[in-house]
Amino acid sequence: MLYALLFLPAVAAIAFVLLRARAKPRVLAEAVPSPATIAGDADPIAALDALLTELEGATVRIGGADELNDRTVAELEQLAEKLEAAAVSLERVA
């Protein structure tokens, strides 16, 4: 009877390991960061090229006028803001 008490911890450890092996294994999952996204245009060079083409068209239309009216000034200011925004996006690329 005394020998049985001596082997009891070993039997308990074996039973624990066997029961643990049957249990569903735990998987530690790590949160995966979302893929990087590009804000704005995917190709800033193409966007800049389109803006420069638009600016060229505006300056050609304005070129024949003697004075700038409010509409053309507003159009040029809007194009200047777009060009500044494109420049900022190109700074991030480089």
Q: Is residue 7 part of a domain?
A: no
When computed from its CA atoms, the radius of gyration of the chain, rounded to whole angstroms, is 36
Domain extent, residue 90, equals 38-94
Cβ atoms of 58 and 75 within 8 Å: the answer is: yes
Which residues fall within 8 angstroms of residue 65, CB to CB, at 6 or more apart?
A: 72
CB 68, CB 62: distance < 8 Å: yes
Between 4 and 62, the more confident residue is 4
* Domains identified in the chain, total number: 1
Q: Within a domain: residue 56?
A: yes
> Is residue 11 domain-resident?
no
Interacting residues of 83 by C-beta distance below 8 A, sequence separation 6+: 48, 51, 52, 55
Q: What is the pLDDT of residues 32-59, one digit of tens each?
A: 777 666 565 567 678 778 888 887 877 7
